[in-house]
Amino acid sequence: MEIIIADTQEEMSKIAADMIERQLLRKPSSVLGLATGSTPVGTYEQLVRRHKEEGLDFSKVITFNLDEYLDLSPSHEQSYRYFMDHHLFNHINVDPKNIHVPYGHAGEVEEFCEWYEDEIKRAGGIDVQILGIGADGHIAFNEPGSSLGSRTRLKTLTRQTIEDNARFFDNLDEVPRFAITMGVGTILEAKEIIILANGAKKAEIVAEAIEGPITAQVSASALQMHRQVTVIVDAEAGSKLKRADYYRWIFEEKKRLVPRLIGKVT
């Protein structure tokens, strides 16, 4: 894994946007795996700005979002589809038919999940997957105990996740209890993964996921098995990493000697 400790959240977002931009220049028809939550918002802002001011082109890009609440319509203001439209899709030139955000009702959820997995395969697999991390170590909605080989499926949210996400709803009772989510196994098949975290609240779980044992109790720890992962955190989220000095040193040396290798495991 490459671990980059940025000074600020803004720098974190810029480094991630640089990596995505490089990917799009290399392969304009890239398949991007996208995440919701407050963490990637700054990266999406960067991408929107680069599209508007510098012509960064998304016309051939295909996107797959990680997850969505069960039974929440795409027009619901708290749905992840609404979030993505608002923060990214409405402001770039992605072709709407290339956008995939899970959407399903309880009655047909298995068929939907199978279809979603097939669509990812038909698109040629995900080139770059963006991730955030939940306070309990989840990636997408893979709550503690999720099999490290899990595929897209229905997942019951933990009490903590429901409480964490309640800030976006009018009250706790409105937060859905179920979500459709890519599995840990689905995520690990992405060719490249970028995981972001910012703020002191994430420091403990970031250290557990990156430097602790690989365990289904912290689904982000499964990323240790992937060959091309970049972890980008701000100084607060990186504050509990035991080898922080070493990670900083690598980053500084790369910036000085081989900037093109930032975000490439070395």
Site residues (vs ligand GLP, CB under 6 A): 35-39, 66-67, 132-134, 140-141, 161
In Å, how far are 37, 78, 101, 107, 113 from 75, measured between CA atoms? 17, 8, 12, 20, 21
Least Cβ distance, residue 89 to ligand GLP (angstroms): 17
Give percent helix, percent strand, percent coil of the chain, each to the nearest 5.
45, 15, 40
Least Cβ distance, residue 171 to ligand GLP (angstroms): 18
* 67 included as an active-site residue: yes
- Backbone angle region of 131, left / alpha / beta, with phi > 0 → left and psi within -120 to 50 → alpha: beta
- Choosing from 67, 117, 192, 236, the catalytic residue is 67
> With respect to ligand GLP, which residue has the nearer C-beta, 94 or 157?
157
Half-sphere exposure of 216 (CA within 13 A, CB side): 8
* 164 included as an active-site residue: no
- Assess contact for 179 and 69: CB atoms under 8 A: yes
- Assess contact for 220 and 39: CB atoms under 8 A: no
Least Cβ distance, residue 165 to ligand GLP (angstroms): 6
> With respect to ligand GLP, which residue has the nearer C-beta, 235 or 250?
235
In Å, how far are 16, 126, 140, 141 from 84, measured between CA atoms? 17, 18, 14, 16
- Choosing from 2, 117, 127, 136, the catalytic residue is 136
Least Cβ distance, residue 167 to ligand GLP (angstroms): 9
Element at 181 (helix H, strand E):
strand 178-181
> With respect to ligand GLP, which residue has the nearer C-beta, 103 or 254?
103
Distance, first Cα to last Cα, the chain: 8
> With respect to ligand GLP, which residue has the nearer C-beta, 6 or 66?
66
Least Cβ distance, residue 174 to ligand GLP (angstroms): 16
Looking at the annotation, which residues are catalytic? 67, 136, 138, 143
